Amino acid sequence: MDLVVKNGRLVDPARNIDAVTNLIIRNGKIQSIGSAAVSDIPVFDATGLVVTPGFLDMHVHLREPGTEEAETISTGGSAAVAGGFTAVAAMPNTKPPNDNPSITHYIVSEARRSSPARVFPVGAITKDQKGETLAEIGEMFEAGIVAISDDGKPVMDAQLFRRALEYAQMFDMPVIQHCEDLNLSRGGVMHEGVYSTRLGLKGIPAAAEETMISRDLILAQMTGSKYHVAHLSTGPAIQMVRQAKALGLRVTAEVAPHHFTLTDAAVADYDTNAKMNPPLRSTEDVEAIVKGLSDGTIDAVASDHAPHHINLKMLEFDRAPFGITGLETAVGLALTKLRLSITRLIELFSINPQKIVKVTPWGLFEGSEADLTVLDLNRSWTFDVNSSRSRSRNSPFHGWAMKGKAVATIVGGKVVYEDRG
């Protein structure tokens, strides 16, 4: 794939690049930056747009194999590029879960066949995600996993989690924890606070997340392993991560856009699209997340894209499943709601996620895979869930007006998504 990306503002904070110039792609890789445009290959006019290293959403549920009525690797990949992501990391809680190399091989080959975005599988920590014995981690690593996680569930057994940390270290992989003490959260459907009391719904206390993180940080310190906190949602939990980083622990953390744009007040009319796990928290928690994003405590923004068939989300609040779609709204919400510099935004969406899951890096340098996200920082647009490329419709952001959008996505030198407005 050959292409000239002409006259864009090229920004790559990892390579100290911020300049309006041309970028030439040959055979799917970046051949040169800053040279005069050539005449023999197609041109992508990026005048007025920002061209960045391709965004990586490191927390996505693609639902295949097993729940293809909600999403497939193909439809999820298509939603990813429509949201500006050139790559995603796919969580293992499929049916069956990705706990052995044959499932990993399936995901890798199906992604190559049908997904416009690159897909990096995450392997399960424990067999069948039951939290009892370790999964086939070494064999899955050989097959292409980039991290391990039992996401959807935590690993409650501290001894088993210690072994997982030690084992993952042999492959220099992070262990991603869904931080939730199941004894504290049992039966809960939303954040425990004023709103849960008022609505008569059983709450999930902030402590369910915080006690698990504090245990894990002790184990991460003991083992010296790479520990990554998924979907961090409370102020005190962010403070714990901040302190652990100051102590030199190898800890990283992500937040999801719904946790910096919504509070538990969104549950007020029993909207099941406001039901997710961890739940929407308080105003103070949102403020702490925004601060953590700007001061470097939080390393990445990840959508926790969790598609569910509409029949399930139409159940009453107590019985509906947790989770919302997020691939197509993550970048718009971050650009609209966060006052971050463009370089910080690119760190959160591309540079840091690449480092955390330790993929072969891509960016604005010669020889890199030509995986690029193109942003229009001034585009005003409204999210319409009915035109989503996801197979599911469970988003609380339908009808939201946003400013700033990924308007093109380039993978391996090929324009796989373009929205010229």
Catalytic residue numbers, as ranges: 304
- Residue closer to Zn ion, measured from CB, 151 or 285: 151
Run of H or E residues at 190: strand 190-191
Q: Report which residue type is found at 151.
A: D
Taking CB positions, which residue lies at the least distance from Zn ion? 178
CB of 51 to Zn ion, least distance (A): 30
- State yes or no: residue 376 binds Zn ion (CB under 5 A): no
- Residue closer to Zn ion, measured from CB, 118 or 178: 178
- State yes or no: residue 304 binds Zn ion (CB under 5 A): yes
**String of contacts with Zn ion for each residue 136-155, x by CB under 5 A:** ---------------x----
CB of 325 to Zn ion, least distance (A): 12
- With beta carbons less than 8 A apart as the criterion, state whether 144 and 106 touch: no
Q: Among 13-21, 237-245, 297-305, 312-320, which window interacts with Zn ion (CB under 5 A)?
A: 297-305
Run of H or E residues at 379: strand 372-382
- With beta carbons less than 8 A apart as the criterion, state whether 67 and 76 touch: no
- State yes or no: residue 264 binds Zn ion (CB under 5 A): no
- Residue closer to Zn ion, measured from CB, 178 or 228: 178
Torsion angles phi and psi, residue 349, rounded to 5 = -100, -20
- Residue closer to Zn ion, measured from CB, 64 or 151: 151
Query: Distance between CA atoms of 332 and 52, rounded to whole angstroms?
Result: 15
Q: Are strands 85-90 and 55-60 parallel, antiparallel or unpaired?
A: parallel
CB of 405 to Zn ion, least distance (A): 24
- Residue closer to Zn ion, measured from CB, 302 or 346: 302
Could you tell me how many residues of this chain bind Zn ion (CB under 5 A)? Answer: 3
Run of H or E residues at 40: none
Closest among 203, 186, 176 to 279, alpha carbons compared: 203
CB of 153 to Zn ion, least distance (A): 8
Task: Record the tokens describing residue 211, joined without a space.
Answer: 């006690």
- Residue closer to Zn ion, measured from CB, 63 or 337: 63
Degrees, nearest 5: CA angle 308-417-114: 60
Query: Distance between CA atoms of 68 and 117, rounded to whole angstroms?
Result: 18
Packing angle, helices 101-114 and 73-82, rounded to 10? 50
Q: Among 78-86, 245-253, 296-304, 357-365, which window interacts with Zn ion (CB under 5 A)?
A: 296-304
- With beta carbons less than 8 A apart as the criterion, state whether 13 and 343 touch: yes
- With beta carbons less than 8 A apart as the criterion, state whether 299 and 286 touch: no
**String of contacts with Zn ion for each residue 79-108, x by CB under 5 A:** ------------------------------
Q: Among 46-54, 139-147, 174-182, 280-288, which window interacts with Zn ion (CB under 5 A)?
A: 174-182
Give the DSSP per-residue string, 257-288.
HHHHH--GGGGTT--GGG--SSPP--HHHHHH
Closest among 359, 417, 409 to 53, alpha carbons compared: 409
CB of 91 to Zn ion, least distance (A): 5
- Residue closer to Zn ion, measured from CB, 162 or 178: 178
CB of 232 to Zn ion, least distance (A): 11
CB of 50 to Zn ion, least distance (A): 29
Q: Which of 162, 163, 178, 226 binds Zn ion (CB under 5 A)?
A: 178
User: What is the contact surface with Zn ion in residues (CB under 5 A)?
Assistant: 151, 178, 304
